[in-house]
Amino acid sequence: MATKMKLKLKTVFVLYFMVSLLGLVYALMQLGQRCDCTEHDLPKDRTISWLRGELNRLQEQMKKSEATRQPQKQAAKSSLPTIFVITPTYARLVQKAELTRLSQTFLHVPQLHWIVVEDSPHKTPLVTDFLMKSGLTYTHLHVPTAKDRKLQEDDPSWLKPRGVEQRNEGLRWLREDRRPQPGEGRQRGVVYFADDDNTYSLQIFEEMRSTQRVSVWPVGLVGGMKYERPVVEGGKVVRFHTGWRPSRPFPMDMAGFAVSLKLVLANPDACFDGEAPMGFLESSFLKGLVTMDELEPKADNCSKVLVWHTRTEKPKMKREEALQAQGLGSDPTVEV
């Protein structure tokens, strides 16, 4: 990165110098003046031709340099297992802000494929346009939540599981699009479920990249506690530090585990159960994939918090509503 930056700065400096020199020669030609530096007094056309030749030579050198560096960079990048991040999202005032924050974290993660699934009967213009400009490798899907499973405006967030259909739709796409073809080697990759309102350290993505079956780690600010985490003894997960129903098969948050793509593809029936009791959604997916003894502790034996279950405060729109009643509301064509 540093070498590439130095190369770019050097190129900008040389190009700037050449353009400035060409500009000076052109100005002298326009004024009908001659340079009185007699030892460098070349005919104007020869001077311009020489400068153009130097510029072309520098450009060729840059192309050759990029050609020798790019294959090495691509080879290093492609050798990494891809992290497939499935993110359910739904229309609300803070949706674009949440997706912006999340996408700008993902831009720093190499070999990441973002699967964004809208809770909608169709792809919305806001998310479509946002993803096109994100700079990320992505897949845009949509599926609406069934009416009887949808939270109402004043319902508490824990009343019904959210994002069930959307996560399952992301899994369906993976099983269809990444299904091994005859003659192909095994699929290398990791599947992670990242909600759009959580906060992620870049380190958590490097921790999960080596997942063989199911990897686990702590999650901060969740379940009414400072953190929940798997408790590790002798390199194995033996129980969970949680404040609510620790007897659940896998009492952890959605942000606290990743699954190998190979395991997902090998178990086509593994999915999230929308009818699971409160707090059992994660268990409904994991119970058919792994046992507690097979869990792979990450984040320094689950001793470091690298992801936080943050939630954005719902904006209060009282003044906006009052202005709208007077016909003075904000311009509805401005996307927020």
pTM of the model: 0.76
Q: Is 309 annotated as a binding residue?
A: yes
- Catalytic annotation on 282? yes
**DSSP one-letter code for 293:** G
Interhelix angle 95-106/125-132, nearest 10 degrees = 20
Mean pLDDT of the chain: 85
CATH numeric code, 82-308: 3.90.550.10
Q: Tell me the mean pLDDT in the region 217-226.
A: 96
Q: Is 315 annotated as a binding residue?
A: no
pLDDT tens digits, one per residue of 67-80: 444 444 444 556 89
Q: How confident is the model at residue 201 (pLDDT cuts 50, 70, 90)?
A: very high
For 292, residues 6+ apart whose C-beta sits below 8 A from its C-beta are 237, 238, 250
pLDDT tens digits, one per residue of 304-329: 999 999 988 889 999 999 999 999 99
Listing from the earlier edge strand, what are the strands of the sheet with 257-260?
A: 137-142, 112-118, 82-89, 189-193, 257-260, 214-216, 296-297
Q: Tell me the mean pLDDT in the region 150-173.
A: 84
Of residues 253, 272, 261, the one with CA closest to residue 214: 261
Q: How confident is the model at residue 181 (pLDDT cuts 50, 70, 90)?
A: confident
Of residues 304, 253, 261, the one with CA closest to residue 279: 253
Q: Is 71 annotated as a binding residue?
A: no
Q: Is 89 annotated as a binding residue?
A: yes
Q: Is 167 annotated as a binding residue?
A: yes
**Burial letters 185-214, b for 16+ CB under 10 A, else e:** eebebbbbbbbbbbbbeeebbebbbebeeb
Q: What pLDDT score does 276 carry?
A: 92
Q: Which of 165, 169, 282, 296 is catalytic?
A: 282
What residue type is 260 in one-letter code?
S
pLDDT tens digits, one per residue of 263-274: 999 999 999 999
What residue type is 317 in one-letter code?
M
CB 178, CB 251: distance < 8 Å = no
